[in-house]
Amino acid sequence: MAAAVGVTLEQAQKMVAAAVAKSTEMGVLMNVAVVDAGGNLTAFAHMDGAWLGSIDISIKKARTARMFDMPTGAIGGLSQPGGPLYAIEHSNGGLITFPGGVPVTGADGELIGAIGVSGSTVEDDHAVAEAGAAAL
Amino acid sequence: MAAAVGVTLEQAQKMVAAAVAKSTEMGVLMNVAVVDAGGNLTAFAHMDGAWLGSIDISIKKARTARMFDMPTGAIGGLSQPGGPLYAIEHSNGGLITFPGGVPVTGADGELIGAIGVSGSTVEDDHAVAEAGAAAL
Amino acid sequence: MAAAVGVTLEQAQKMVAAAVAKSTEMGVLMNVAVVDAGGNLTAFAHMDGAWLGSIDISIKKARTARMFDMPTGAIGGLSQPGGPLYAIEHSNGGLITFPGGVPVTGADGELIGAIGVSGSTVEDDHAVAEAGAAAL
Amino acid sequence: MAAAVGVTLEQAQKMVAAAVAKSTEMGVLMNVAVVDAGGNLTAFAHMDGAWLGSIDISIKKARTARMFDMPTGAIGGLSQPGGPLYAIEHSNGGLITFPGGVPVTGADGELIGAIGVSGSTVEDDHAVAEAGAAAL
């Protein structure tokens, strides 16, 4: 029988709950997505009234962070015109390379997934993603 | 400020939790997706070890049920070879027309969204979707 | 300066209005799309409460009818398992091959576009499409 | 039975008519799309001879404005190289982030949909979209 590939549903829901709580505390409306070590969607929440367009963005941020094992904003620094990874967003069915996605590591430091947040400024998105990841 | 379009996050998470509880009781591993009245993803959970390919299917089932305001299996009965809706699955970026998606109505009987479940037999998928929808 | 490729906006809107009027008379809620001789969307209307999933289907029916210059149902008769055009729906970004799409001809019998209707049974869809086409 | 999700067909057609009238007055050829509160296409018109490539752009502008509840140009100011939302256009199946799409609010200030216009300069596109939105 198959087991979870990295993050479990329990861990993912804990991260989502922490991210939603942080958003409420900050007074922002977010979409929060958690993917497992394989980049597959594990848990998701859309806060009432949050931007509908940020649903897809939050999922793409989580996938992007896991696909390259770094915060999404770090990739965005490399994908600008003239940069070494210019236009990498065209790969993998569409990447999102601005802040709001961060990899998540387990107890032994191994990568177990990623969390992606979208719905406010990229600074807010990143802060909420960090709060979610810190819940583990 | 925008409000929830139909189902709220609280309602969606309640349905997801009920569907996961029902799955555990039945001994099956499911993916559960809830969409709002606009067909947008509102909440999602992937049970540990559930089929990865069923993540997308559960979301498509929920969207299909909302897009035609009927259980997905009802569409599948019409989309068979020789049937009146043969190959309808090619529309809307891909529909899933076998059982496991059901519309969800609010207190006044108005349609507020849909739930889609995938991970076992279509009978199990449908039973879990019904259990999720009944939680409201 | 470019001119209309076949059907004009005035003609397209006339067809849409006739199709909506026919739908109201029949007591059905439809999506109605008209494409020009190039297969490009020219006019569209979604009746309040009509199936959301039928928006895309009505457009695809209109495009399918124009792309092969025949009613969509005629293609569906050839695309069944074992038929000569089996799985043709995979082409052109997705075709819809059940009834509801019909080509539209001008005063001289030349093909000027097509109309696609979706929202009820395929018999109703086809009847409304014919009513729309007959308005010219 | 399902009802309109936000904007009604009557409201959408009124906006389209106002936008087409404004375009005629300005001497430009436009494509005009209106989406409902769920981002679904509700009404559309392609003026005779307008750019064919702007059909898709007008629809994407309307969807983009609804998905982020702001004029499309406001997003474009943030999605430039070096900007905080660089390359956001890769999400949601393709966004259009230059001017021409504006959200539409109802009598109580609630968001009920959006209008997208494409066919001329972005200044013209935006002016026509505003004229369409003002018709309600």
DSSP per position, B48-69:
TT--THHHHHHHHHHHHHHHHT
**D92: chain A residues, CB-CB within 8 Å:** 53, 56-57
Residues in chain A: 136
Read off φ and ψ for residue B105, nearest 5 degrees.
Answer: -110, 155
Q: Which site among D32, D35, D41 would you substitute to test the C interface, given the most C Cβ atoms closer than 10 Å to its Cβ?
A: D41
Query: Residue A1: pLDDT above 70?
Result: no
What value, to the nearest 5°, has the Cα angle with vertex C79 and ends C78 and C80? 100
Residues of D at the C interface, defined by Cβ within 8 angstroms: 1-5, 8-9, 12-13, 20, 29, 36, 38, 40-52, 55
Which of D38, D45, D55 has its CB closest to that of C9?
D45
Are D72 and D61 contacting, i.e. CB atoms less than 8 angstroms apart? yes
Give the number of domains in chain B. 1
Q: How does residue B58 score in pLDDT terms, banded at 50, 70 and 90? A: very high
Residue D3 lies in a domain: no
SS3 content of chain C, % helix, strand, coil (to 5): 40, 20, 40
Picking from A9, A20, A48, the nearest residue to B46 by CB comes out as A9
Q: Nearest-CA distance from D1 to chain B in Å? A: 7
Q: Is the distance from CB of D89 to CB of D96 less than 8 angstroms?
A: yes
Nearest to C9 among D43, D46, D51 (CB): D46
**Helix count and strand count (H, E) for chain B:** 4, 4
Asked, for residue D1, whether it belongs to a domain, the answer is no
Taking 70 as the threshold, does the pLDDT of residue B56 lie above it?
Answer: yes
d(CA B66, CA B104): 8
Q: What is the pTM of this model?
A: 0.95
pLDDT for A107 equals 87
Cβ contacts below 8 Å, chain B against chain D, sum to 25
Cβ–Cβ below 8 Å for D39 and B37: no
Q: Average model confidence (pLDDT) for chain C?
A: 96
3-state secondary structure of B116: strand
Mean pLDDT across D22-26 = 98
Domain membership flag for residue A3:
no
Write out chain A residues lying below 8 Å of D35, CB-based. Answer: none
Sort out which chain B residues have CB atoms less than 8 A from C116's CB and list them: none
Structure tokens at B124: 């199990």
Asked if D60 and D67 touch (Cβ cutoff 8 Å), the reply is no
Q: Kindly identify which residue of chain C lies nearest to residue B111, measuring between CA atoms.
A: C49
D45 within domain boundaries: yes
How far is it, in rounded angstroms, from Cα A85 to Cα A68? 12
> Residue C4: which pLDDT band, with cuts at 50, 70 and 90?
confident
Residue of D nearest to A57 (CA): D91
Answer yes or no: are the C-beta atoms of A47 and B9 closer than 8 Å: yes
> CB–CB of C34/C113 below 8 Å?
yes
What is the complex's ipTM, to 2 decimals? Answer: 0.94
The CATH number of the domain holding residue D51 is: 3.30.450.150
Token code pair at residue D35: 């989406």
Confidence of residue B2 (pLDDT cuts 50, 70, 90): low
Residues of D in contact with B5 (CB under 8 A): 5, 37-38
**CB-based contact D48:A48 (threshold 8 Å):** no
Under a CB-based contact definition with an 8 Å cutoff, are residues D44 and C41 in contact? Answer: yes
What is the model's pLDDT at position C80?
Answer: 96
Estimate to the nearest angstrom the gap between the alpha carbon of A111 and the chain centroid: 13
Confirm whether A4 is domain-assigned. Answer: no
Query: Cα separation of B85 and D4, whole Å?
Result: 24
Look at residue D118 and give its three-state secondary structure: strand
Give me C54's structure tokens. 């039928």
Q: How confident is the model at residue A3 (pLDDT cuts 50, 70, 90)?
A: confident
Chains that touch D (3 or more CB pairs under 8 A): A, B, C
At CB < 8 Å, which residues of chain D contact A? Answer: 38-39, 64, 66-69, 81-82, 84-88, 90-93, 95
The answer to whether A and C touch (≥3 CB pairs < 8 Å) is no
pLDDT tens by residue, D83-136: 999 999 999 999 999 999 999 999 888 999 999 999 999 999 999 999 999 999
Q: What is residue B1's predicted lDDT score, i.e. its pLDDT? A: 47
Which of A106, B86, D103 shows the shortest CA–CA distance to C86? B86
B2 assigned to some structural domain: no
pLDDT per residue as tens digits for the range A57-70: 999 999 999 999 99
CB C86 within 8 A of CB C65: no
Asked, for residue B21, whether it belongs to a domain, the answer is yes
| Closest by Cα among A9, A7, A52 to A31 | A52
Contact D75, D88 (CB under 8 A): yes
Q: Looking at the domain assignment, is residue D99 inside a domain? A: yes
Question: Considering only CB atoms, which residues of chain C are within 8 Å of chain B?
Answer: 51-54, 56-57, 60, 76, 79-81, 89-90, 94-99, 121-122
What's the CA dihedral at A92, A97, A100, A106 to 10 degrees? 60
Contact C80 B92 (CB under 8 A): no
Boundaries of domain holding C101: 9-134
**What is the model's pLDDT at position A111?**
95
Count of CB atoms situated within 10 Å of the CB of D109: 8
Compute the distance between CA of residue B12 and CA of residue D49 in angstroms, rounded to an integer.
46
Question: Mean of the pLDDT values across residues A18-40?
Answer: 98
Whether B31 shows a pLDDT value over 70: the answer reads: yes
**Predicted local distance difference test score (pLDDT) of residue A119:** 98
Q: Of all residues in chain C, what percent carry a pLDDT higher than 90?
A: 94
Q: What pLDDT was estimated at residue D135?
A: 96
**Tens of pLDDT, residues C21-41:** 999 999 999 999 999 999 999
The H or E element containing residue C124 is helix C122-133
Total beta-carbon pairs less than 8 A apart between chain B and chain C: 53
